[in-house]
Chains A and B, each alone.
Chain A
């Protein structure tokens, strides 16, 4: 994997999409490399689905340029459909189609498809092969939908809400499956709500908000930017004002009997030095690295604040 030549599979520049008066996507640029699992995160209405629909050639951008596998998604739609597998957020199959029948049908659309049996096995649908779509559970439908997205042996898979509706075990298994296929050279664009999924699976993540990209980085770096958090119970009460004076500390609050201190860089070292000099013994100490979840909340809050500040002038 490490030796794979880094080539750009998807390149989106200054994408803009409008629905009537609403700007759904405003100036988005993304560059995704071969073999990468690229996450797109954001709240509802952030423009995630619109963006991936443009990449998949399902929607025409109002402006901006898109290149997928070196092709224009609108002009070379037919060739791209052969090489890009798409799992749509809400797409169902005819009620009375059997699982195996659906897989064989979709396999017939491609020149070099995977074997339906292989996908039945990979997605644990073997026992459901002779079940009608309408009788599948939500999770089984979702797994079938993933199987159909992968059946054409795509070079790029666009997976919108990959594991929505799956139980935790199926979710883990689906992640392993995606990792396994990625190791064969598949590039994945993953639209997700689940931070845990993005942290586990994604090489890089773009945080979307109000049709713009707020940040693109690895999940670890996005979290690290926010620093660390230390929490503990202190038996002699600690003077919180002294904690606030520490330069690394950003926020201090009490959660029941616990003191929670957030800060950047060396906040843990600074707090421990203070505890020693104050002769306070911390109990049940917990140190956490900020997660993608925190980064996401922080960035969207920041963006909302900006928006609130500018909307007064704009409207």
Chain B
């Protein structure tokens, strides 16, 4: 049997953590108990990076715009992780909390339900940001992918991509009627988003029409922004504006329709 901490009766009350920090830590603890999410969002992208980096040619390819395969693929893996966390994990969690009446329960306490939303967002941003940095470091030191020399452009690209995906995740959470519906919508959206990011066919290999369409999808705009930053170029104002526009529009709809109660 697991041991239970000794009672604190008689001792002076210990310093307690603030409510928001507790919520954040508890949400992180709960996420760690979901092996499927951990695998797909954290372990799988790093594993894929190692497999692809080791198995693919180290010579530049004309089909990849004169870049090495792994250079083209590293930004795609970055978007993969943050899309899974923001679009699959978060909406399903929020929808289940609403189904259970947990959000309503929190709204009867001083902390209030909106703080839970904030904790979820902080968790997704923190976790996705950490994996992005990890992918960046592994790809650089193991496979010689350049570190982004346009630092501000890179940070801006990542933050805007996360914002766009988190807004989309919130939108899914606000429209879904249950956890299962949220999971289904997230899953269905995942494939076209990742397709335009270049998960199956790199953007450099897409035809001109497909490539143009791709640039106006959130992840299709995100990947070239990151690649540009890798080589010291500005991500591209259009790309950043596309990401910002998605964020604003989807967030507005999400706020309009979000329900705290069943």
**Interface secondary structure of B, over-half rule:** loop
User: A82-B110, A105-B22 given as contacts; is B4 within 8 A of A126 (CB)?
Assistant: yes
A105 lies within 8 A of B23 (CB): yes
A129 lies within 8 A of B108 (CB): no
A88 contact set on B, CB distance < 8 A: 101, 104-105, 108
**Complex formed: what's the CA distance from A109 to B104 in Å?**
15
User: A91-B104, A93-B102, A108-B19 given as contacts; is B109 within 8 A of A152 (CB)?
Assistant: yes
Q: Mark A137-153, 1 if CB is under 8 A from B, else 0.
A: 00000000000100010
Compute the total of residue contacts between A and B using a CB distance below 8 Å: 82
Q: Does B29 contact A (CB under 8 A)?
A: yes
Number of residues from B at the complex interface, CB < 8 A: 32
A91 lies within 8 A of B101 (CB): yes
Q: Does A285 contact B (CB under 8 A)?
A: no
B105 lies within 8 A of A91 (CB): yes
Q: Mark A114-152, 1 if CB is under 8 A from B, else 0.
A: 010110010000100110000000000000000010001
A78 lies within 8 A of B110 (CB): yes
Q: Does A194 contact B (CB under 8 A)?
A: no
B13 contact set on A, CB distance < 8 A: 115
Quick one: which of B2, B22, B104 contacts A108, CB cutoff 8 A? B22
Q: Mark B97-115, 1 if CB is under 8 A from A, else 0.
A: 1001110110111111000
Q: Mark B7-22, 1 if CB is under 8 A from A, else 0.
A: 1110001001111011
B112 lies within 8 A of A81 (CB): yes
Closest to B97 in A: A94
A129 lies within 8 A of B30 (CB): no
B100 lies within 8 A of A96 (CB): no
Q: How far in angstroms is the closest Cβ of chain B from A281?
A: 60
B105 contact set on A, CB distance < 8 A: 86, 88, 91, 93, 148
**Complex formed: what's the CA distance from A88 to B4 in Å?**
28
B7 lies within 8 A of A81 (CB): no
Closest 5 A/B residue pairs (Cβ): A91-B101, A108-B22, A92-B100, A86-B108, A91-B105
Known: A86-B105, A96-B34, A110-B109. 20 other contacts (CB 8 A): A58-B107, A78-B112, A81-B110, A81-B112, A86-B108, A88-B104, A88-B108, A90-B101, A93-B100, A93-B102, A93-B105, A94-B96, A101-B26, A104-B22, A105-B26, A108-B17, A108-B18, A109-B19, A117-B7, A117-B9
Binding site for B on A (CB under 8 A): 56, 58, 78, 81-82, 84, 86, 88, 90-94, 96-97, 100-101, 104-110, 113, 115, 117-118, 121, 126, 129-130, 148, 152
